[in-house]
Structure 1
Amino acid sequence: MSQDTPYIFDATSADFDQLVIQKSFLTPVLVDFWAEWCAPCKAMMPVLKQITEGYQGELLLAKVDCDAEQDIVARFGIRSLPTVVLFKDGQPVDGFSGAQPESAIRAILEPHVQMPPPAAADPLEQAQTLFAEGQIADAEAVLVALLSEDNTNALALILYARCLAERGELGEAQSVLEAVKGDAHKAELAGARAQLTFLREAAELPDVADLKTRLAQNPQDDEAAYQLAIQQLSRQQYDAALDGLLKLFIRNRNYAEGLAHKTLLQVFDLLGNDHPLVTTYRRKLFAALY
């Protein structure tokens, strides 16, 4: 029976000691005693394969065809099929007879086989997660290391610019965005540029408390409503900002030549099409338009 993974192989009388006994001093070897006529054996094969592959080389699986290898069957006193035996340091240390659920097999292996270390996280994905969680400094540190190895990574550059912008380095952020080449990431680039725009605008506006006071005195103060939304966007208070912009658009869609509508679209770019707020407010904007 041919195998399609280096961790699984057939063992015969001629090579059992070399492939199982000797290898088990380095890596635990699970031996599957099976036969062509044994339906439960065949049912267990994909389970054993999946488990073995999951250990990524920390466990090997040797398959013994009992019809062809009667010497091995007699040597280990195999009396029923399927029988599965775990060898470690040259000795059988555990095993079972009869079909078993995956959880039971894993429980047998756990004391004897070391799980492989988790795969290293992709640095860009790690930085994206940190940024989304508001851990800007940590995200920036990951991106600096990544960009030191590849300073042409467009997505990393864009996210790095957003980190810089979040801590007020707007000029430097702009320079980083200008270094992004190609059209492969238009949406992400548009979002980063929108963020820069909001932060720049917010720096020139009255503070939030003053704007809220103006709106409390006059809920129809369109300028205060728009400026409050920009301040909220600069603080990543996206839900409140989108709500305010939509209400402004519904109340006065011609305010500043359609500025509320334009800004809503910029926020959609900033958050990305998959963001739940974008899905919600696109639908609300469509309803308001039509």
Structure 2
Amino acid sequence: MSQATPYIFDATTANFDQLVIENSFHKPVLVDFWAEWCAPCKVLMPMLQQITESYQGELLLAKVDCDAEQDIVARFGIRSLPTVVLFKDGQPVDGFAGAQPESAVRTLLEPHVQMPPPAAADPLEQAEAAFAESHFAEAEAILQSILGEDNTNAKALILYARCLAERGELGEARTVLDAVKTDEHKAALAGAKAQLTFLSQAADLPDAADLKARLAKEPGDDEAVYQLAIQQLARQQYEAALEALLKLFVRNRSYSEGLPHKTLLQVFELLGNEHPLVTTYRRKLFAALY
């Protein structure tokens, strides 16, 4: 029967004292007494291996083939198979005979074995979560650490560029995006480049709150509609922006020499043909044109 991890091993008469007794002063050792002819043993062993693996090194599993290791069988007075004995600090402290459900085995182990702490979250996931909550400095610090180890990580580069953009470092953000050399995250890369384009345009415009106040007083203010759409594109509020640009185009095709139409086409190009909003609004624009 195969070993799955370094925590699972065969114990023999020659190595039992070293692998089981001595090891048990450091980590609890579960000893599985089994034999090839024992059907319940073959059911129990994979479950014991799975339980051992779940402890990630906090528990060891020693397997004793009773047909081959008669001296160990006699030493511990094993009378039936399977028999499982837990050793701790050089002594047997608990055990059972016969097949048991997993819940019973875990209950037996609970007082003696510490479950390992949960694995730390993936750093990139931590950075994404921080960015989503607008904790840009925290996200940027995590991403710098990731990129310090692997400066070709496309997902990290794209998110790092977005962090830089959030604090106005548009030139540096563009340099970072230019370093992405894979098609793997095409949509995310297109979205980040689109955001940079519109952030640079939005920098010279009134802020969104002022524009909304203007539109509350004068809904037909074409300039405010267009400028608010640019602010929305800079914040990646694509649907609201595309809807506003389309309505402005339908209402006033000649506004600023057809600028809403040109901007719609620019957004389509930047987001890419596969983006669902591009599909929707390209169709709406076609209907408006013809």
TM-score of the pair, normalised by structure 1:
0.78
The aligned amino acid for 1:164 is L
Find the aligned partners of 2:194 and 2:75 in 1 and give their Cα distance.
73
2:28 counterpart of 1:12: no
> What residue is the counterpart of 2:45 in the other structure?
45
TM-score of the pair, normalised by structure 2:
0.78
Of 68-77 and 8-17, more deviation after overlay is shown by 68-77
**1:15-71 deviation digits (Å, cap 9, x = unpaired):** 322221122122221111223333332222222111222323222111122344343
243, 246, 263: which is aligned to 1:246? 243
Residue aligned with 1:87, SS:
strand
Find the aligned partners of 1:37 and 1:247 in 2 and give their Cα distance.
76
> What residue is the counterpart of 1:177 in the other structure?
177
Find the aligned partners of 1:176 and 1:207 in 2 and give their Cα distance.
27
Going from structure 1 to structure 2, the CA distance change for 1:54 and 1:282 (only over 3 Å counts) comes to farther
Going from structure 1 to structure 2, the CA distance change for 1:284 and 1:125 (only over 3 Å counts) comes to same
Residue aligned with 1:37, SS:
coil
Going from structure 1 to structure 2, the CA distance change for 1:79 and 1:224 (only over 3 Å counts) comes to farther
Contact 2:229 2:245 in 1 (8 A): no
> What residue is the counterpart of 1:166 in the other structure?
166
> What residue is the counterpart of 2:56 in the other structure?
56
Find the aligned partners of 1:85 and 1:45 in 2 and give their Cα distance.
13
Going from structure 1 to structure 2, the CA distance change for 1:120 and 1:213 (only over 3 Å counts) comes to closer
2:267 counterpart of 1:259: no
The aligned amino acid for 2:43 is A
Residue aligned with 1:112, SS:
coil
Find the aligned partners of 2:103 and 2:221 in 1 and give their Cα distance.
64
Of 66-75 and 27-36, more deviation after overlay is shown by 66-75
Contact 1:225 1:245 in 2 (8 A): no
Superposed, 1:1-290 pairs within 5 Å as 1-178=1-178, 180=179, 182-184=181-183, 186-216=186-216, 219=219, 223-235=223-235, 238=237, 241-246=238-243, 248-249=245-246, 252=249, 256=259, 257-260=261-264, 262-263=266-267, 266=270, 268=271, 281=277, 284-285=280-281, 288=284
Identity %: 68
Contact 1:33 1:81 in 2 (8 A): yes
Find the aligned partners of 2:72 and 2:166 in 1 and give their Cα distance.
68
What is the CA distance between 1:265 and its match in structure 2?
Answer: 5.8
**1:236-284 deviation digits (Å, cap 9, x = unpaired):** 5x3xx41342364367466633523542564x46xxx8xxxx65x4674
What is the CA distance between 1:152 and its match in structure 2?
Answer: 4.9
Going from structure 1 to structure 2, the CA distance change for 1:249 and 1:58 (only over 3 Å counts) comes to same
Find the aligned partners of 2:211 and 2:94 in 1 and give their Cα distance.
72
Find the aligned partners of 2:160 and 2:281 in 1 and give their Cα distance.
31
The aligned amino acid for 1:263 is V
RMSD: 3.2
Count of aligned residue pairs for this structure pair: 277
Find the aligned partners of 2:245 and 2:141 in 1 and give their Cα distance.
39
The aligned amino acid for 1:259 is T
Residue aligned with 1:205, SS:
coil
The aligned amino acid for 2:21 is I
Find the aligned partners of 1:34 and 1:69 in 2 and give their Cα distance.
10
Find the aligned partners of 1:55 and 1:190 in 2 and give their Cα distance.
43
Contact 2:83 2:96 in 1 (8 A): yes
What is the CA distance between 1:165 and its match in structure 2?
Answer: 0.8
Find the aligned partners of 1:170 and 1:286 in 2 and give their Cα distance.
28
Which residues of structure 1 form unaligned runs of 5+? none
Going from structure 1 to structure 2, the CA distance change for 1:152 and 1:15 (only over 3 Å counts) comes to closer
The aligned amino acid for 1:24 is S
